[in-house]
Amino acid sequence: MKYRCHVKKGDTVEVSTGEDAGKQGRVLEVYPKRERALVEGLNLIKKHMRKTQDNPQGGVVDKEAPLHVSNLKVVERKS
């Protein structure tokens, strides 16, 4: 089965509902099977990071979470 989304990587989109309503951002990734898209700087969540060699401090990091594509409106297509 082939899945399709009206948003593509690189498009500029506007969020229509939720906490980030009215804000705009660029699409970083699209997950067609889950009907979700990752938008730069929107839908930020707190992620608790364990101490590792790459991240010796550990701590809490802000990270983007995917949004459902039905809540996104394309403002400008990637050229």
Question: Which domain, by its residues, includes 20?
Answer: 12-76
Do the domain assignments include residue 67? yes
Do the domain assignments include residue 51? yes
CA diameter of the chain:
44
Tell me, yes or no, if the pTM score tops 0.85.
no
pLDDT at 3: 82
Domain of residue 26, CATH code: 2.30.30.30
Pairwise CA distance, residues 32 & 30, whole Å = 6
**pLDDT tens for each residue of the chain, 79 residues long:** 778 889 999 999 999 999 999 999 999 999 999 999 999 999 999 999 999 998 899 999 999 999 999 999 999 998 6
pLDDT at 79: 67
